[in-house]
Amino acid sequence: MHDVAALAGVSHQTVSRVLNDFEGIRPETRERVLAAIEELGYRRNLAARALVTGQTQTIGMIGPVVPDIGPLSTLHALERSARAVGLHTMMTSTEPEPAAVRQALEFLLGRGIDALALAAQHREIIAAVEDLDPGIPVVHLLTGGTPAGASASIDQVEGARLAMQHLLDLGHTRIQHVAGPQSYTEARLRADAYRQIMAERGLESLPIVEGDWTADSGFHAADALVADATAVFCGNDQMAFGLLHHLTEKGIVVPRDMSLVGFDDTGEARHSVPPLTTVRQDFAAVGQLAVDLLAAQLGRGVAPAVQILEPEFVARYTTAAPRS
Amino acid sequence: MHDVAALAGVSHQTVSRVLNDFEGIRPETRERVLAAIEELGYRRNLAARALVTGQTQTIGMIGPVVPDIGPLSTLHALERSARAVGLHTMMTSTEPEPAAVRQALEFLLGRGIDALALAAQHREIIAAVEDLDPGIPVVHLLTGGTPAGASASIDQVEGARLAMQHLLDLGHTRIQHVAGPQSYTEARLRADAYRQIMAERGLESLPIVEGDWTADSGFHAADALVADATAVFCGNDQMAFGLLHHLTEKGIVVPRDMSLVGFDDTGEARHSVPPLTTVRQDFAAVGQLAVDLLAAQLGRGVAPAVQILEPEFVARYTTAAPRS
DNA sequence: CGCCACGGGGTGAACGTTAACGCAAGCCCC
DNA sequence: GGGGCTTGCGTTAACGTTCACCCCGTGGCG
């Protein structure tokens, strides 16, 4: 910086002023400084800057340990959006145990982050972070529920309603739900919504089969379905794929003998055999929303009004009217 | 730090020594310092540390803009491994254009990174980074080819050989290849290996159909297959799913009428209908390997001998002998 | 003609850490 | 018994920014 100042014939402070877009700099001076910066290939040292300002311009992200495409997509989009407004991101992951969460948080805090994006929907992780109180703005990602603080989510209840409505409209009454792990807020919200909607229609809720999001667990869930179920609302696409596989293997034809609705609309959903009817979640939009929220809290830009995005129903070929 | 020093009755330098595991500290003094740190909840300021050492203990990662589960898994694993040795990671992504790559690199360099992990297999990105010469250790991820510098990869030629060998052993001679975009080194390696192996057997290489990794492109590739092909070696699982979908829709039964081999072994491969025969790549292991490589270059630990991991063939139910 | 306000820019200190060096006490050895 | 060496710790000066404050010239006004 001193070299730049010397070359431009000004003081280091003026260089700093130019860099930080301060007013009260004569255009010609600014040009000289900019030219000197260009010529020397000068790059501002962010460590020194962070030292004196106490801010790192960095958003810390806590993700799940299992590389799920959903949360990962959100985080990926968050990074892009953050970069667009000059913020950096730093990501780490944690197991859902208080000690591990604490360690992950300490890791990020130790590195210096100005805000935290929590993409771990596990209840224990959320609780642990709340407990630790990081002392910086926090936004919860994809929890889908009622936000304690700021949160960027997709409306899970509405998503479940879209899926269920479709099955009900087709005439199904014996609808079963294959849920994700109930330790995940989103899984619980979908399961609750399932029960709620069945009750609203005066229908009997069938036992909820709990999977672990993987296609494998969906495969095994097929064995746990009640005999007279005619449709299954799956907590995510992966489990739907596993279920579809097992049903097909058993000679149960989808959608003739059984209707199936997934959740997420992953890239493969369009090309399963048959293509999966599902509910689309725009994970990337959640990342963008989170950055808007955080940027506002960091004093840049204004907070968006909407914090809950709407899911979208995608009709394909795994649903049909029940056989009478 | 001064507060800690005061409480422990030592100088700040001694605190620093304890923090950095220097020798020549009396155990009892170290205990006093540690106790003071604990009591005050002191956390070292990494910005100040980076300022004076010129090192950030951070690995920068450049990933693709499209959130593919493969590279993302690798990056995710890289983060975990890095954290285990006390390194941080910072990720960004870039389009495959020199200007964008430059910007991404500047972004990371500006933030201060000690090493770079390049998880963008696009040739243009690799070239651009090489061109810019970041001046820090670089490791290429998943390029699968001959490493210019350090690289952590899975042997693509061997993977292709496993897939092809299987089809050849079944008696196929009219084998076609649906490749990924040839701008990706790995796609090109697989395609080259396909041609090479066909030639070795004295078989005619069929026209290579180029997709874009997505299931959609695999779906469309079905229209471009030659009439008498009896087997397809797909560049990845996603395209195989799309292909499988289209073939099934056309009434072509897999594997009776057509054999199909994928690549990657994604979580869904086990549960397609029928389950996909494929070649497994251990993406997480690549991330771990990359950290080992980088840590060695950063002066911690010793570099692993192996830089190329072996893929593994996974036999499922999309392949059979050709109908005679 | 003198004073003041203000635009434009410079000066020194401070942020929290590590590196380089200094220094005292104790020990060994001839 | 004194000189050198080791052990254990303290002192001072950086690192590259930004912040708070000061200073100088110029123009307007009474």
Over residues B232-258, the mean pLDDT reads 97
Q: Cα(A117)–Cα(B295) distance, rounded to whole angstroms?
A: 28
DSSP bridge partners of A313: A279
Q: Is the alpha carbon torsion for A66, A96, B60, A141 positive or negative?
A: positive
Strand D atom within 7 Å of B74 CB:
no
CA distance to partner chain B, nearest, from residue A265 (Å): 13
pLDDT of residue B107: 87
Q: What is the pLDDT of residues B188-242, one digit of tens each?
A: 999 999 999 999 999 999 999 999 999 999 999 999 999 999 999 999 999 999 9
Q: What is the pLDDT of residues A241-256, one digit of tens each?
A: 999 999 999 999 999 9
Which among B69, B72, B90 has the least Cβ separation from residue A90? Answer: B90
The first and second tokens of residue B231, run together, are 């087997």
User: Which residues from 171-210 of A have any strand D atom under 7 Å from their CB?
Assistant: none
Contact call for residues B190 and B156 (beta carbons, < 8 A): yes
Whether B85 has a pLDDT exceeding 70, the answer reads yes
A175-179 and A231-234 strand pairing: parallel
Whether B146 has a pLDDT exceeding 70, the answer reads no
B61 backbone φψ class: left, alpha, beta (φ>0; ψ -120 to 50): beta
Q: Do B93 and A80 touch (CB under 8 A)?
A: yes
Q: What is the pLDDT of residues A41-85, one digit of tens each?
A: 899 999 999 999 999 999 999 998 888 899 999 999 999 999 998
Q: Which residue out of B108, B271, B283 would a mutagenesis test of the A interface target, given it has the greatest number of A Cβ atoms within 10 Å?
A: B271
Q: Give the number of A-B residue pairs with CB atoms closer than 8 Å.
A: 129
Nearest to B144 by CA among B162, B128, B160: B160
Q: Cα(A192)–Cα(A6) distance, rounded to whole angstroms?
A: 67
Place of tokens 């999977």: A211
| Secondary structure percentages of chain B, helix, strand, coil, to 5 | 45, 15, 40
User: Which residues from 29-58 of B have any strand D atom under 7 Å from their CB?
Assistant: 29, 48, 51-52
Whether A110 has a pLDDT exceeding 90, the answer reads no
Set of chain A residues whose Cβ sits within 8 Å of the Cβ of B92 = 79, 83
Q: What is the pLDDT of residues A85-102, one digit of tens each?
A: 889 999 999 999 999 999
Mean pLDDT of chain B: 92
Q: Smallest Cα–C1' distance to nucleotide C13: which residue has it?
A: A52
pLDDT of residue A146: 58
Determine which of A164-178, A225-239, B299-313 has the lowest per-residue pLDDT on average: B299-313
pLDDT of residue A157: 95
Over residues B10-25, the mean pLDDT reads 89
Q: In what order do the strands lie in the sheet with A58-64?
A: A88-94, A58-64, A115-118, A138-141, A150-154, A308-309
Q: Smallest Cα–C1' distance to nucleotide C16: which residue has it?
A: B48
Predicted TM-score (pTM) of this structure: 0.91
Residue B314: CB partners within 8 Å, gap ≥ 6?
Answer: B265, B269, B277, B278, B279, B280
Nearest to B293 by CA among B82, B53, B129, B119: B82
Q: Do A73 and B89 touch (CB under 8 A)?
A: no
Strand D atom within 7 Å of A44 CB:
yes
Strand D atom within 7 Å of B10 CB:
yes
Across A204-208, A296-300, B119-123, B293-297, the highest mean pLDDT is recorded for A204-208
Determine which of A189-203, A267-281, B46-60 has the lowest per-residue pLDDT on average: B46-60
Q: Do A242 and B88 touch (CB under 8 A)?
A: no
Whether A222 has a pLDDT exceeding 90, the answer reads yes
* Radius of gyration for chain B, computed over Cα atoms and rounded to the nearest angstrom: 25
Q: Do B244 and A271 touch (CB under 8 A)?
A: yes
pLDDT of residue A25: 86
Q: In what order do the strands lie in the sheet with B209-210?
A: B209-210, B175-179, B231-234, B259-261
Q: Which nucleotides in chain C lie less than 7 Å from some protein C-beta?
A: 7-12, 14-20
Over residues B35-56, the mean pLDDT reads 91
Q: Which residue of A has its CA nearest to B53?
A: A47
Helix (H) or strand (E) holding A89: strand A88-94
pLDDT of residue B121: 80
Q: Place B145 in a pLDDT band, splitting at 50, 70 and 90.
A: low
Task: Name residue B138's amino acid.
Answer: V
Q: Place A304 in a pLDDT band, splitting at 50, 70 and 90.
A: confident
Q: What percent of chain A has pLDDT over 70?
A: 98
pLDDT of residue A145: 63
Whether A147 has a pLDDT exceeding 90, the answer reads no
Residue A8: CB partners within 8 Å, gap ≥ 6?
Answer: A14, A15, A29, A32, A33, A35, A36
pLDDT of residue A298: 86
Nearest to B237 by CA among B200, B209, B272, B208: B272
Over residues B12-30, the mean pLDDT reads 89
